[in-house]
Amino acid sequence: MVKKTLGLKIKINNSLLNFIEIDLKKLEHNYYAIRSLLNPKTKMIGVVKANAYGSEVNSIAKKLVALGIDALAVAFTEEGIQLRNQGIKARILVFYPQTENFKLLISANLEPALYSKKSWRAFEKNILDQRKKNYPVHVKYNTGLNRIGFNPADSDWILNEIKKDAFKIKSVYSHLAASEENRPNEFSQKQLALFNEIMNDHKKNSKSETDFHLLNTSGIFNYPELHLDWIRCGIGLYGFANQPQWNKKLKPIGKLISTITQIHSIKSGETVGYNCGWTAHENTRIAILPLGHADGIARHYGQGNGWVSIQGEKAPIVGNICMDMIMVEIKNLPCEEGDEVEIFGTVNTAEAFADQGNTISYELLSGLGKRIERRILK
């Protein structure tokens, strides 16, 4: 339905003031850096769920396809359909497809992960209804993360089911709970042992060739001997790998820039922000930046925990973060209203900034709001 509007073109972002600069050359660097760690036969799934970790999924997906990625993966069916609507023809895995959307998923030629008998049966029904055969699916096992996945004890059931020809199992996979933790890690060892049994079961009893995969980004770095047939790389493509020595190989693709909209000179003893959250202990200056917790800069970054970079200098976020604004102390830094400020990027990486806010790069990046413009550098 086309809604009548007032005829105004509305651009729903504060784009001149806040933007994330996304550098596709850095994405390319990360792609090759990760490729270089892999056996040439190991294939790469580029994980682009949640708007490519909060960046801009259409440009990221197109670039990855152009670079030769073997498949893409999203969390939900709608995300896969968005990629198809962009003309992306690559294989697309859907990690958490909801049974309600199976029909759509099939019509968009997406490949589901089946993770329970219920999801299996529901998908089978859709395949039979649409008179399809040998539809490519992926089987997800729960080996200890206790998120989604078949119980390893279900492997006999699955192997019996695939004697029918509704599905073709393209791959069997699981997910580690602590892939970034130092080796040897007891919990990962247990998961590995279980996955080994699952692989053996499938190898012995499956009629067609099945691929196996286990590792996300940190796993790729931490378990070079376990790359298997595929790896599933998300955060690494965006420039982080959850350990400083691994991060060194990668380049963060995004920079979040904001603009000083107002500067106040305040006297010692004056307070800043809601609930008088911060008190100046000397005469100082405060700069106001037009983004806040509605844009993904959570309250944890306030109260001096997080800092932004102005002309390369640290300016701490003072007081409580508001919905649309944050206040930073700039003292005598040489800056004025209208100047750009780096919230994170080169001086303070997204990972370091996330840490200041008591979170991780994944949450910071994927939580960046729609009001922030995405600027793509090709």
Picking from 53, 18, 59, 12, the residue whose alpha carbon sits closest to that of residue 364 is 53
**Counting contacts by CB under 6 A, is residue 170 touching ligand PLP?**
no
**Counting contacts by CB under 6 A, is residue 142 touching ligand PLP?**
no
Nearer to ligand PLP, 18 or 119 (CB): 119
Backbone angles phi, psi at 313, to 5 degrees: -100, 150
Picking from 179, 267, 186, the residue whose alpha carbon sits closest to that of residue 223 is 179
- What the block records as the tokens of 141 is 């096992």
Give the shortest CB-180-to-ligand PLP separation in angstroms: 8
Nearer to ligand PLP, 18 or 242 (CB): 242
Give the shortest CB-230-to-ligand PLP separation in angstroms: 10
Which of 95, 135, 167, 195 binds ligand PLP (CB under 6 A)? It is 95
Asked if residue 224 has a cis previous peptide bond (ω within 30° of 0), the answer is no
**Counting contacts by CB under 6 A, is residue 232 touching ligand PLP?**
yes
Which H or E run contains 135? strand 135-140
**Counting contacts by CB under 6 A, is residue 239 touching ligand PLP?**
no
**Counting contacts by CB under 6 A, is residue 51 touching ligand PLP?**
no
Name the burial class of residue 182, with classes exposed (0-12), middle (13-18) and buried (19+) by CB atoms within 10 angstroms of its CB.
Answer: exposed
> Which listed range, 17-25, 199-207, 229-237, 252-260, lies at the site for ligand PLP (CB under 6 A)?
229-237
**Counting contacts by CB under 6 A, is residue 43 touching ligand PLP?**
no
Report the site for ligand PLP in 252-311 (rule: CB under 6 A): none
Which of 236, 273, 277, 296 binds ligand PLP (CB under 6 A)? It is 236
378 and 253 in contact (C-beta within 8 Å)? no
Nearer to ligand PLP, 140 or 374 (CB): 140
Nearer to ligand PLP, 234 or 345 (CB): 234
**Counting contacts by CB under 6 A, is residue 71 touching ligand PLP?**
no
Cα–Cα distance measured from residue 338 to residue 345, given in angstroms and rounded to the nearest whole number: 19
**Between vectors from CA 258 to CA 252 and to CA 261, what angle results, nearest 5°?**
170
- What the block records as the tokens of 35 is 């490729």
Nearer to ligand PLP, 138 or 371 (CB): 138
**Counting contacts by CB under 6 A, is residue 235 touching ligand PLP?**
yes
Q: How many residues bind ligand PLP (CB under 6 A)?
A: 11
Which of 42, 82, 171, 216 binds ligand PLP (CB under 6 A)? It is 216
Give the shortest CB-76-to-ligand PLP separation in angstroms: 11
**CA-to-CA separations, 235 to 118, 143, 246, in angstroms, rounded:** 31, 22, 12
Nearer to ligand PLP, 49 or 255 (CB): 49
Backbone angles phi, psi at 155, to 5 degrees: -60, -35
Picking from 247, 260, 240, the residue whose alpha carbon sits closest to that of residue 315 is 260
Alpha helices in 206-243 (DSSP H): 217-222, 235-238
**Counting contacts by CB under 6 A, is residue 213 touching ligand PLP?**
no
DSSP character at residue 3: P
**Counting contacts by CB under 6 A, is residue 234 touching ligand PLP?**
yes
Cα–Cα distance measured from residue 77 to residue 104, given in angstroms and rounded to the nearest whole number: 8
Note the residues at the interface with ligand PLP (CB under 6 A): 47, 49, 95, 175, 216-217, 232-236
